[in-house]
Structure 1
Amino acid sequence: MRSAQRHFSDPRAVAHYLDGPPRLVPGFGDLHRMAQVLLAERAPFDARVLVLGAGGGLELKAFADAQPGWIFDGVDPSPDMLELALGTVGEHAPRVALHQGYVDVAPDGPFDAAVCLLTMHFMPPCERRHALRAIRARLRRGAPFVVAHMSFGQDEDERALWLARDEAYAVASGAEPEEARHRREVIERIMPVLSPEQDEALLREEGFKDVSMFYAAGVFRGWIGYA
């Protein structure tokens, strides 16, 4: 996670961040739309929502556009990314409180819903466990939690296949071949990606109930569970 923090404190990375996920994550806008729909199944019209990994503000804006009564607490370790998030949410800023740091700086809640998108693939398993436990402790009983990140088979051949597919998707989406290859090398070298089976097991082991996958696109998977 510390290497990710260094990356998202790089002015060049921050400057180009808003272009990256929509281009490199298949179905990015649909992921936000579906996450909002799933949260709204149980979250009230005036829900208080915890967003872990809120830097950039793209999911904050998507949720705030769709749900004018929701208020948000966004957490991210990068002050530069939080500044970018503030600009991204625009007119919704009065409904958004931003907190610099990791999950432990989040208010105690209780929250009516929580979401963590494109963040946990930066965390080794021990940090994921801590984050999941901390999120669940801040949720009302039965509140929904949506999480999505890189998750694909981790045996050698399957891992190589999915990384090659992700590289090819990046090129097909307009990335320069050198950029796509660098992205692949970074994932291989520093991202502690787990298999979908491991990710789902962590959610269940940390107390989330009725866990089910709702999103699968390329190297990304997403789940919903309930506190």
Structure 2
Amino acid sequence: MYAERAAQMVPAYRDIHRLATVLIDERAESDARILVLGAGGGLETRSFAEAQAGWTFDAVDPSAAMLDLAAQNLRAHASRVRMHHGYIDDAPSGPFAAATSLLTLHFLPYDQRRHTAAQVRQRLAPGAPFVVAHLSFPQGDSDERELWIGRHVANLIASGIDPADVNKARSAIATGVPVLSPEEDRAVLLEAGFTGVTEFFSAFTFRGWVGYA
């Protein structure tokens, strides 16, 4: 159910996992240790684990319920995954060969997002990639912002999500989620000390970047 809903709400949801795997694999060794921040239900970690049999993972999430779901989804790979309840400050010190934060950073305001990115960088080995993807669309002009929110809502409806849930999503994005512009999101990574920051994904209101420690 969780996987189906995520795939309805996020364009190319499973493709993002595959793209992230490719970006990690460019730099990571076959026995790499990967930090998965905001591990959610464990679906991206499962995708990484299925792609690379030698990678190990530290999965971090502030929701105990989501970590329980992740444990269920990762039963086949349990020996390679360590679960951590909390935020980036609760994560192991590393060093990690790569890190990801998929569909989570848009819940953090600018300063907290920059702190999180900086803490991730401190835990990465030199040159290690940090792959992020989340809500990111223009915020300066109110008409343009509303246009993108409307497109997001239209896509949710087209994906078959219940109209009542769509209305909740519109309200959350419009007033409750501290979405940044693509320019601000890029700045967060640069200010945290990442180099070679490149946008690798863009689909309606979602974008993804990779930067290097």
For 2:84, the equivalent position in structure 1 comes to: 99
For 1:7, the equivalent position in structure 2 comes to: none
Q: Is the counterpart of residue 198 in structure 1 residue 205 in structure 2? A: no
- CA displacement at 1:202 relative to structure 2: 1.1
Aligned residues: 212
For 2:194, the equivalent position in structure 1 comes to: 208
Identity of aligned residues (%): 54
Counterpart code for 2:59: G
For 2:123, the equivalent position in structure 1 comes to: 138
For 2:133, the equivalent position in structure 1 comes to: 148
For 2:212, the equivalent position in structure 1 comes to: 226
**Structure 2: distance between partners of 1:131 and 1:22:** 26
Q: Is the counterpart of residue 174 in structure 1 residue 160 in structure 2? A: yes
- CA displacement at 1:141 relative to structure 2: 0.4
Q: Is the counterpart of residue 65 in structure 1 residue 50 in structure 2? A: yes
Q: 5+ residue gaps in structure 1?
A: 1-15
**Structure 2: distance between partners of 1:220 and 1:118:** 9
CA-based RMSD of the aligned residues comes to 0.8
Which structure 2 residues correspond to residues 21-32 of structure 1 after superposition, within 5 A? 21-32=6-17
**Structure 2: distance between partners of 1:189 and 1:19:** 25
Deviations for 1:132-157, whole angstroms, at most 9, x for unmatched residues?
01000000000011001000000201
Which structure 2 residues correspond to residues 183-194 of structure 1 after superposition, within 5 A? 183-194=169-180
Q: 5+ residue gaps in structure 2?
A: none
Question: What SS is found at the alignment partner of 1:44?
Answer: coil
For 2:19, the equivalent position in structure 1 comes to: 34
- CA displacement at 1:19 relative to structure 2: 2.5
Deviations for 1:27-49, whole angstroms, at most 9, x for unmatched residues?
01111000000110001110000
**Structure 1: distance between partners of 2:163 and 2:84:** 36
* TM score, norm. by length of structure 2: 0.98
**Structure 2: distance between partners of 1:98 and 1:179:** 30
Which of 74, 83, 105 lines up with 1:89 in the alignment?
74
Which structure 2 residues correspond to residues 159-170 of structure 1 after superposition, within 5 A? 159-170=145-156
**Structure 1: distance between partners of 2:112 and 2:4:** 28
**Structure 2: distance between partners of 1:55 and 1:29:** 14
**Structure 2: distance between partners of 1:179 and 1:102:** 27
Runs of 4+ in structure 1 over 4 Å off: none
- CA displacement at 1:196 relative to structure 2: 0.2
**Structure 1: distance between partners of 2:5 and 2:116:** 25
Q: Is the counterpart of residue 121 in structure 1 residue 106 in structure 2? A: yes
Question: What SS is found at the alignment partner of 2:113?
Answer: helix
* TM score, norm. by length of structure 1: 0.92
Counterpart code for 1:166: H
Counterpart code for 2:29: P
**Structure 1: distance between partners of 2:127 and 2:78:** 28
